[in-house]
Structure 1
Amino acid sequence: MFTPKIFVFAILIISVSCRYISEEQRPYLVIEDDDSIRIFALEDEPDANEVEELHPIRVRRQVHGSLSSNLDGSSNVAAKIPIARGDSNILSAIGSVNAADGKGGFGSAGAGLAWDNIKGHGATLTGSRIPGLADQLTATGKANIFHNDHHDLTASAFATRTFPDNPNIPTFDKYGGKVGYTFNDKIGASLGAAHTDLFKKTDYSAMGNLNLFKDRTSSLDLNAGWSKSVSPYMPSSRWEPSGGLSFTRFF
């Protein structure tokens, strides 16, 4: 049975600043932003086109993550640490804890690897643990179909293998996909479907979201939509509404 180890990641808060520093009487300009630190040397009468950049390689922050709250008072924590990078691709270690109640209990926890491409494509491989129920291994992939200053269209797919703790329940698979659209990084909608062979059950969802507030460190979103499940073992099936507010803190 697959049992993943859960990583605990330190969270680094990166601030934005622009300041001058001096070393051996030579002036420097250090510019920091969310993703990089760049250092320039300044002459007494610098030419804007001839300012020397002392460190041409951009140094990006090494850790980032998020903390979100649920309606039942529990929290979700996720972190991402880049471990290898190229001009267009980044490989990161990822970890998450979902539905943590603050007393040592949690709904699930996992860790794995993530690949991200500069064009918005990506893939992850994660192992997770659901206490008292099962271990899971999940592979996901996404492709950015279209993106500009106002519109973003992305498709994703996943496959999960579940290893139940109960020896009377066999290993089973679940797989599915989703298409999501976002306008101005504020209004979005998605359509998704997932199928579980063991239960001959297919889940459908149609969701929408509206960002009510967002800055560098936090986001407040309204989510609403409908979902339903279809299975020969279910006497009836209908679309059920769902929704709520979610608050996320970024680090």
Structure 2
Amino acid sequence: MFALKLILAAVLVAASARHVPQDHLAYEQVHLLGFDEDERPVFEHEDLLPELEESCQPQHLTRARRQAQGSVTLNSDGGMGLGAKIPLAHNDRNVLSAIGSVDLNNNMHPTSKGFGLALDNVNGHGLTVMKESVPGFGDRLSGAGKLNVFHNDNHNVAVTGSLTRNMPSIPNVPNFNTIGGGVDYMYKNKVGASLGMASTPFLDRKDYSAMGNLNLFRSPTTSVDFSGGFKKFESPFMSSGWKPNFGLTFGRSF
């Protein structure tokens, strides 16, 4: 089943790559260089635009993407995650986007679905707000932020934080909060690691994660990333111990 999902995801990404309008990509590349549509210069070699764009972009900055993005993540438990981000408005430094996600279990049944807004900054900072629906549980309203605290040509360090309001539809169970935080590190946008922790006081539960990240392939419009590591949770009644966890993510910009 996992192999079938892997092949399906790869086919979807490859198919989308063949149907991206090249005129649209060329416009986005020129627009990112700072030209308006009416001021678009004529290049003798249009195929050099991606390399020219990268050379003009300071390496210690993370470009705030103004293109629609989609992703497919295959998880070690046999489930799958689908994500989408569609830009709504932008200026020279920030992009406001609509976001959506659907998580599926190993039987392809939805385990959650959500929608919200994301604000991305050219320096790598970000904010998201999302409303999720979880079948058999209820709803979740979450806000998350990322602060890029250090970056240069090789290294990037960011701290993250989140607050989730859990709103169960289960009788006699009140709403409760989950608070989380973490640290992310990336070397040359290729190899990275992250540490995270979340606390749910109502359940007296703590979740921990230690993950590594590796970019397997990257082009101006496509990326393939692998993440692997360990996760665990602890409560007064149960402890899962460290369990392996991994995922393979196919991303595409349009």
Relative to structure 1, the CA distance from residue 163 to residue 153 in structure 2 (aligned partners, 3 Å threshold; closer, same or farther) is same
Structure 1 runs not aligned, ≥5 long: 1-10, 19-29, 43-59
Relative to structure 1, the CA distance from residue 122 to residue 175 in structure 2 (aligned partners, 3 Å threshold; closer, same or farther) is same
Whether the aligned pair in 2 keeps the contact of 1:124 and 1:140 (CA below 8 Å) is yes
Aligned partner of residue 155 in structure 1, secondary structure: strand
Q: What is the Cα deviation at residue 71 of structure 1? A: 4.1
Aligned partner of residue 204 in structure 1, secondary structure: strand
Q: Which whole-Å deviations, capped at 9, do the CAs of 1:87-115 have from their partners, x for residues lacking one?
A: 32222211111227786x31111011111
Q: What is the Cα deviation at residue 216 of structure 1? A: 4.0
Larger strand percent: 1
Q: What is the Cα deviation at residue 72 of structure 1? A: 5.3
Structure 2 runs not aligned, ≥5 long: 1-15, 43-64
Alignment pair present for 1:135 and 2:156: no
Q: Which whole-Å deviations, capped at 9, do the CAs of 1:106-134 have from their partners, x for residues lacking one?
A: 11110111112221111111100011212
Task: State the identity as a percent.
Answer: 40
1:9-88 aligned within 5 A: 14=20, 31-34=26-29, 36=31, 38=37, 39-40=39-40, 63-71=68-76, 74-88=79-93
Larger helix percent: 2
User: TM-score if structure 2 supplies the norm length?
Assistant: 0.71
Q: How many residues align?
A: 210
Match of 1:189? Answer: 193
Match of 1:95? Answer: 100
Whether the aligned pair in 1 keeps the contact of 2:74 and 2:247 (CA below 8 Å) is no
| Greater length-normalized contact order (CA 8 Å, ≥ 6 residues apart) | 2
Alignment pair present for 1:200 and 2:204: yes
Paired amino acid for 1:242: P
- Alpha-carbon distance in 2 for matches of 1:243, 1:140: 22
Q: Which whole-Å deviations, capped at 9, do the CAs of 1:62-104 have from their partners, x for residues lacking one?
A: 522222333455432211122222232222211111227786x
Alignment pair present for 1:168 and 2:172: yes
Match of 1:158? Answer: 162
What is the Cα-based RMSD across aligned positions, in Å? 3.0
Paired amino acid for 2:227: N
